[in-house]
């Protein structure tokens, strides 16, 4: 493959290609090949390509970047560049203290030499990561704009959670993460929710004390967004290799007796039975018992590292308050719903109508992030108990749909590094969010993870960036440690 990099210092275009050796070369053979290639007139530079821990090729070029300490240091940059035979290629349009330079010497060496002068804030070699993205081929994945938005639903291309990149980094690797779905129960007989490849995990009905009970289709729809298998059928969940735990609660209407205490019991049960992430696509009336159950999960879940609790912000009409419990428990992640156009779901404005103009994603000072919440394809209970006669619904909506996208991302992060504390997972999700929409994001007291806006939080979650920002650990070493500590 070839790409061009324009240069202000020359009218020539610079082309980069990859050369793969037919067999593994020794160090001596490698340098002999490099020297031979350098003698070819049309090859100006030859550099190695490295393979990162995820198996992704990482290349360097003749370019490196330098950050000035102040805008008055350009002359100093020119002097140092002349000393080392480097050429100033361009100034960064958005970060004017940053300059890109080129050199016939190693970019790694040049970045180090410039930094060692002590004259500059930062230097770095140009790193080019080549992601041969492989998107799922499941039947309805093409409709999942929230995973990979190509404007297929009339929105804006690119407004999505970058799922293909995240799955490329995590596919078939990492720890098995348990995601509890506190909801109306999950249909595990569904072809896309088969958990049989993992050791069984206990499911629970909070009323009867027995196993999983299905009281409606909502929980199955939520579960599909989190963990529908990448199996060629239906849809692909955000974390298709995680393990689901169903904790069923009678969320069948506002008149359900003791519903807040039952929800608290469900959270406590999930914590005590191994949940790593707890998805809560529901709201409730504020009561101390529910607050204390949430606090317990944040403090004592996952052997003291804290569960990741994800709540929907609510579909609150014109109200400007995030709904409870998301609005009164700062350790949880409060998730709003974004449309395929990159705007908060706000009635029938522009492409946000989607035939769902009677609801609005709640917002306000407690909002953390946004995720896809309109026209979301997901799993459904077949027949009369479900939303449709089919096994899938193509237009699930609400912050109920947005919330499980974030739970899935939390599971991906923990699968790469299960030693993280719950709050660290939240920080990664928030700090890697994308700033979509016609909103002016700004720094705000109490919001340390980047710029923020009351209608969008930190922005639209980015699964690929979140996984990339997570440091991988040796999973086998962790499992060995945990096994030893249990004896």
Catalytic residues, by residue number, are 183, 218, 400
**Which phi and psi angles does 80 have, rounded to 5°?**
-65, -40
**Which phi and psi angles does 406 have, rounded to 5°?**
-75, -40
Q: Helix (H, G, I), strand (E, B), or coil: what is residue 399?
A: helix
Examine residue 325 and say whether the peptide bond preceding it is cis (omega within 30 degrees of 0): yes
**Which phi and psi angles does 107 have, rounded to 5°?**
-65, -35
Q: Helix (H, G, I), strand (E, B), or coil: what is residue 392?
A: strand
Dist CA 461 CA 446 (whole Å) = 19
Report the candidate in 191, 241, 236, 229 with the shortest Cα–Cα distance to residue 376.
236
Dist CA 393 CA 41 (whole Å) = 59
**Which phi and psi angles does 333 have, rounded to 5°?**
-105, 120
β-pairing, 308-312 vs 277-280, is parallel
Kindly state the helix (H) or strand (E) to which residue 243 belongs, with its residue range.
strand 243-248
Q: What is the CA radius of gyration of the chain?
A: 25
């Amino acid at each position: 493959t070839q790409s061009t990099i324009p240069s202000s210092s020359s009218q020539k275009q610079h082309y980069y290609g990859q050369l793969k050796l037919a067999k593994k070369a020794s160090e001596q053979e490698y340098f002999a090949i490099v020297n031979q290639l350098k003698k070819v007139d049309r090859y100006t530079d030859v550099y190695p390509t490295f393979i990162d821990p995820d198996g992704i090729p990482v290349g360097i070029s003749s370019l490196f970047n330098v950050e000035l300490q102040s805008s008055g240091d350009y002359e100093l940059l020119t002097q140092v560049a002349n000393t080392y035979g480097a050429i100033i290629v361009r100034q960064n349009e958005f970060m004017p203290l940053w300059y890109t330079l080129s050199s016939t010497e190693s970019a790694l060496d040049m970045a180090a030499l410039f930094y060692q002068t002590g004259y500059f804030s930062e230097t770095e070699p140009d790193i080019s990561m080549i992601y041969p993205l492989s998107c799922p081929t499941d039947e309805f994945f093409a409709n999942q704009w929230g995973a990979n938005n190509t404007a297929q639903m009339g929105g804006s291309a690119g407004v999505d959670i970058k799922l293909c990149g995240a799955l490329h980094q995590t596919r078939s690797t990492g720890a098995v993460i348990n995601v509890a779905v506190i909801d109306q129960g999950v249909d595990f007989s569904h072809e896309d929710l088969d958990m049989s490849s993992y050791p069984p995990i206990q499911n629970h009905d909070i009323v009867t004390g027995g196993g999983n009970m299905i009281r409606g289709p909502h929980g199955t729809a939520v579960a599909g967004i989190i963990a529908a298998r990448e199996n060629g059928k239906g849809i692909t969940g955000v974390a298709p290799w995680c393990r689901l735990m169903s904790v069923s609660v009678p969320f069948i209407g506002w008149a359900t007796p003791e519903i807040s205490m039952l929800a608290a019991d469900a959270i406590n049960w999930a914590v005590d039975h191994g949940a790593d992430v707890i998805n809560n696509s529901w709201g409730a009336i504020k009561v101390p018992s529910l607050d204390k159950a949430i606090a317990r999960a944040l403090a004592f879940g996952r052997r003291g590292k804290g569960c990741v609790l994800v709540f929907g912000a609510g579909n609150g009409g014109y109200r400007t308050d995030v709904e409870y419990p998301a609005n009164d428990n700062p350790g949880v992640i409060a998730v709003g719903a974004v449309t395929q156009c990159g705007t908060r779901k706000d009635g029938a404005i522009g492409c946000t109508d989607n035939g769902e103009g009677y609801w609005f994603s709640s917002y306000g000072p407690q909002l953390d992030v946004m995720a896809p919440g309109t026209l979301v394809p997901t799993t459904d209970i077949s027949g009369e108990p479900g939303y449709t006669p089919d096994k899938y619904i193509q237009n699930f909506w609400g912050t109920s749909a947005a919330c499980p996208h974030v739970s899935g991302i939390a599971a991906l992060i923990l699968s790469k590094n299960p030693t993280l504390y719950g709050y660290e997972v939240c920080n990664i999700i928030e700090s890697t969010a994308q700033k979509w929409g016609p909103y002016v994001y700004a720094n705000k007291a109490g919001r340390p993870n980047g710029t923020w806006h009351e209608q969008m939080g930190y922005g639209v979650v980015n699964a690929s960036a979140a996984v990339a920002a997570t440091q991988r650990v040796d999973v086998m070493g962790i499992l060995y440690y945990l096994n030893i500590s249990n004896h």
